[in-house]
Chains A and B, each alone.
Chain A
Amino acid sequence: MAQKTLGAAIGLGLDGALAADDRVLLMGEDIGRLGGVFRVTDGLQKKWGADRVIDTPLAEAGILGTAVGLAYRGYRPVVEIQFDGFIYPAFDQIVAQVAKLHYRTRGAVRMPITIRVPFGGGIGAVEHHSESPEAYFAHTAGLRVVACSHPQDAYWMIRQAIACDDPVLFFEPKRRYWVTGEVDASLDAAPPLEAARVVVEGTDATIVTYGPLVATALDAALAAADEGISLEVIDLRSLSPVDFDTVEASVRKTGRLVITHEAQQFGGLGAELATSITERCFTHLLAAPARVTGHDIPYPPSRLEEHFLPDLDRVLDAVDRVLGRANSLTGWTL
């Protein structure tokens, strides 16, 4: 097994998908000669040709809309949206066309389109470059939404997303692109795309998260362990559908739930998780679920983003709250 960055692992997965199926095409702005602004597609156009790794005009609706037509024709387009905040011009094509065509045609038309979106903040970027729009898409029936958090999963998940006959929103945590890890380039040990993963087992509280904050949650588990608190960390991996069974099993064991994501809180994934888990295991809960999220404000200028993004201390504060510990600083219930 080779050490790879998360970004390179996705590139390796794209390379493997291009090799495995000649109907797979990559499309996006600057993905060819430049190799993408994050270099995820570096070298792929040279290897596979401009006919399969396609530099498109700068037009997000155009990229998604033509991907729909290519899917009608039997292709499996993998499109790159350059930054999270640029996905909105393509929103109609994604939620009104891509998501619905299989349902509308009672299964006659398939839309095996993978939509890669670098998402989240923490890289000091300007506006429209640090957003977490996943809830818009998780809210839309007919779309699968996933987020990777480390190189091995990134490799497995991009391969599975491209092989999936449903459309998949594939969120890549851009501030973790340079995190390295071992990558097994086979697919034999890959868990199903929709399966959550218990990253660390624990007994006192469950932290559910995904994408960029998995690393933060792991830091929290380490820090809490110093105080004798045992945290279980779940990487959701799939945001729609959510593997509620795995979360439910964990919460039945720990009795306490903390959910953390970068996206704004109102109507976010945390709201769905808190409600669904409360419905499923109300009598096992020893405290109300706590959410640690971005504030309900537009993504702020980069000099303020450390105050927006959930960090180790805010996660630990929420852990204290669900544990009813006196050293909770805030008592927030938001």
Chain B
Amino acid sequence: MQSPAETPLRLLGPDGRRIPNDDFDPWVSDITAERLAELYEDMVVVRRIDSEGIALQRQGQVGLWPPLRGQEAAQIGSARALRSDDFVFTSYRENAVAYCRGVGVEEMMPMWRGTAASGWDPYEFGMAPPAVIIGAQTLHATGYAMGCAKDGADSVAVAYFGDGATSQGDVSEAMVFAAAFRAPVIFLCQNNHWAISEPVSLVARRPLADRAPGFGIPSIRVDGNDVLAMMAATRWALDRARRGDGPSYIEAVTYRMGPHTTSDDPSRYADPAEHDEWLQLDPIARVERNLELNGLHSVHEVASRTADAVAADLRRACLELPDPRPLELFDHVFTEPTSRVLRQRSQYAAYLDMLGEER
């Protein structure tokens, strides 16, 4: 393996040309031009989901949206490497991962529209609800992975987190536990260079991938805008985990091309020149160039049609989400309602009745 401090692993250049790599080419030898076109379509679709989410927020239909533009390859390349019996624990910016796990557009929106605290059944998709407290989910993934090992299963847990999360104690503790118990977990750090307005340079004097070896965890730095390299690195880490070799750490070096969330204003802190540099490294454009070099010319039109259809579904699903009934407030606080919850529920029901309101 390369040393983390070296140039990030890249298999597909910004000009669309394949870059041979003896160590990692075998991990993506099955990715034909047709398979790459599928990954391309995934990225086009999630970029379209993302822009629709922003539009819905601007139109007042959802309260908040965390854009992922620029991080499509980091998420699609890694998530498409997983099996359905693997389990992912993410932060809130991983709508592309959710898309890959099969989460439907109607389940993606309730959290952002505010009709539910989370949208999908974690066990149906092998994906926990997004963690908003930064880094908390890395411990959950590690614990889940400890359970996989205990069960003798070769399932793997993946923790997605950002560069900002690497400051949190939970992330360090997760690596301590993962190393101590040889847990089959992948730490997938998307270094998008920003923790809201704070640059990664504030918290990291060295590449983030350098931290893991200190915990006894092998790590790799990857061009996070290269979908092929992301898939190869994730497959390498998955293989290690399934073999019983324990945790791995992947630093996906990428760039958040938009705000932290729709509440944010990057013009106050981000350098436009830096933004333009990263624009040249766009994860979707380089795959399109590669596919064109391979004679697949109409990929953009085909993918765009799919993306438009998914976006229309997303918009419709979002607008059709019913408001929850008021008394759903009291559901699922405990597995069986306590007398306290039942008492407050019945008191509030009587209050609504008094006002003649639906409950």
Contacting residues, chain B, for A240 (C-beta < 8 A): 340
Across the interface, do A51 and B117 meet the contact criterion of CB distance under 8 Å? no
Q: What residues of chain A lie closer than 8 Å to B174, measured between beta carbons?
A: 62, 65-66
Measured between alpha carbons, how far is A300 from B30 in the docked complex, in Å? 67
Q: In this assembly, does A191 line the interface, its C-beta being within 8 Å of a C-beta of chain B?
A: no
A70 engages B335 (CB within 8 Å): no
A180 to B129, CA, bound (A): 46
B170/A65 in contact, CB under 8 A: yes
Among the 9-residue stretches B21-29, B61-69, B141-149, the one with 4 or more Cβ atoms under 8 Å from chain A is B141-149
Q: Which of B274-321 contact A (CB under 8 A)?
A: none
CB pair B146–A66 under 8 Å, yes or no, is: yes
CB contact between B144 and one of A70, A105, A166 (< 8 Å): that residue: A70
**Is A123 interfacial (CB 8 A cutoff)?**
no
**Nearest A residue to B138 by beta-carbon distance?**
A65
Q: List B68-96 residues whose CB lies under 8 Å from chain A.
A: 87, 89
Q: Cβ of B139 and Cβ of A66 under 8 Å apart?
A: yes
- Whether A97 is near chain B, meaning CB under 8 Å from some CB there, is yes
Chain A residue nearest to B150 (CB atoms) is A51
Report the bound CA distance from A111 to B340 in whole Å: 20
Chain A residues contacting B334 (CB-CB under 8 Å) are 102, 142, 144, 166
| Across-interface contacts of A244 in B (CB, < 8 A) | 339-340
Task: Check if A306 is an interface residue, CB within 8 A of chain B.
Answer: no
Most buried by A among B117, B118, B174, B334: B334
Instruction: Determine if B102 is an interface residue (Cβ-Cβ < 8 Å).
Output: no
Count of residues in B whose CB is under 8 Å from the partner chain: 44
Which residue in B121, B170, B177 is a CB contact (below 8 Å) of A108?
A: B121
Task: Tell whether, in the assembled complex, residue A72 and residue B170 are in contact, meaning their CB atoms are under 8 Å apart.
Answer: no
B333 contacts A by Cβ under 8 Å: yes
Q: Pick the contact of A65 from B139, B332, B338 — CB < 8 Å? A: B139
**A304 located at the interface, meaning its Cβ lies under 8 Å from any Cβ of chain B in the complex:** no
Q: Is B195 part of the contact surface with A, judged by Cβ < 8 Å?
A: no
| Chain A residue contacts of B118, Cβ below 8 A | 104-106
Measured CA separation A267–B117 after assembly (Å): 28
Is the C-beta of A96 less than 8 angstroms from some C-beta in chain B?
Answer: yes
Does A56 have its Cβ within 8 Å of any Cβ on chain B?
yes
Interface: A284 (CB within 8 A)? no
Least distance between A204 CB and chain B CB atoms (Å): 28
Instruction: Map CB proximity to B onto A84-127 as digits: 1 under 8 Å, 0 otherwise.
Output: 00000100110011001111111111100000000000000000
Bits for B200-212, please: 1 = Cβ < 8 Å to A, else 0: 0000000000000
Inter-chain contact A62/B139, CB cutoff 8 Å: yes
Q: A68: which of B87, B143, B150, B176 is its contact (CB, 8 Å)?
A: B143
Tell me how many residue pairs across A and B have CB atoms closer than 8 Å: 142
**A66-B142, A69-B146 known; A104-B117 Cβ under 8 A:** yes
Does B146 lie within 8 Å of A70, measured CB to CB? yes
Q: How far is the CA of A166 from the CA of B333 in the complex (A)?
A: 9
Q: Quick one: which of B121, B122, B140 has the most chain A CB within 10 A?
A: B140
Asked if B133 and A108 make an inter-chain contact with CB atoms under 8 angstroms apart, the answer reads: no
Tell me if A57 is interfacial: C-beta within 8 Å of chain B.
yes
Q: How far is the CA of A50 from the CA of B111 in the complex (A)?
A: 40
Q: Are B332 and A106 in contact (CB under 8 A)?
A: yes
Does B349 sit within 8 A of A, measured CB to CB? no
A59 touches B173 (CB 8 A): yes
Query: Does A225 interact with chain B (Cβ within 8 Å)?
Result: no
**Bound complex: CA A107 to CA B340 (Å):** 18
Asked if A245 lies at the interface with its beta carbon under 8 angstroms from chain B, I say: yes
B143 pairs with A92, CB closer than 8 A? no
Q: How distant is B98 from chain A, measured CB to nearest CB, in Å? A: 14
Contact (Cβ within 8 A) B335 A107: yes
The residue that B338 contacts in the complex, of A62, A71, A97, A194, with Cβ under 8 A, is A194
Do B147 and A73 have beta carbons less than 8 Å apart? yes
* Contact between A105 and B129, CB atoms less than 8 A apart: yes
Give chain A residues whose Cβ lies under 8 Å from the Cβ of B339.
194, 241, 243-245
Query: B169 within 8 Å of A by Cβ?
Result: yes
User: Does residue A61 face the partner (Cβ distance < 8 Å to B)?
Assistant: yes
Expressed in whole angstroms, the Cα–Cα distance for A314 and B138 within the complex equals: 48
CB distance from B315 to the nearest CB of A (A): 24
* A221 touches B (CB below 8 Å): no
The complex places the Cα of A51 from the Cα of B152 at a distance, in Å, of 13
Q: Determine whether B5 belongs to the interface, using a CB cutoff of 8 Å to chain A.
A: no
Cβ 8 A contact of B143, one of A67, A100, A141, A245 = A67
CA distance A106 to B110 in the complex (A): 12
A74 contacts chain B at the CB level, 8 A cutoff: yes
Residue pairs across A and B with Cβ atoms less than 8 A apart, 30 shown, are A61-B169, A61-B173, A65-B140, A66-B140, A66-B142, A69-B142, A69-B143, A69-B157, A70-B147, A72-B87, A72-B140, A75-B147, A89-B169, A96-B133, A97-B131, A97-B136, A103-B117, A104-B129, A105-B117, A105-B118, A105-B121, A105-B122, A106-B117, A107-B331, A109-B123, A109-B129, A142-B333, A165-B335, A240-B340, A242-B340
Further pairs besides A66-B143, A97-B131: 20, Cβ < 8 Å: A56-B177, A59-B176, A61-B173, A62-B173, A65-B143, A65-B174, A66-B146, A66-B174, A69-B147, A72-B143, A73-B147, A89-B169, A97-B133, A101-B129, A103-B117, A103-B333, A105-B118, A194-B339, A241-B339, A244-B339
Smallest CB-CB A-B distances: 4 pairs = A69-B143, A65-B139, A73-B147, A66-B143
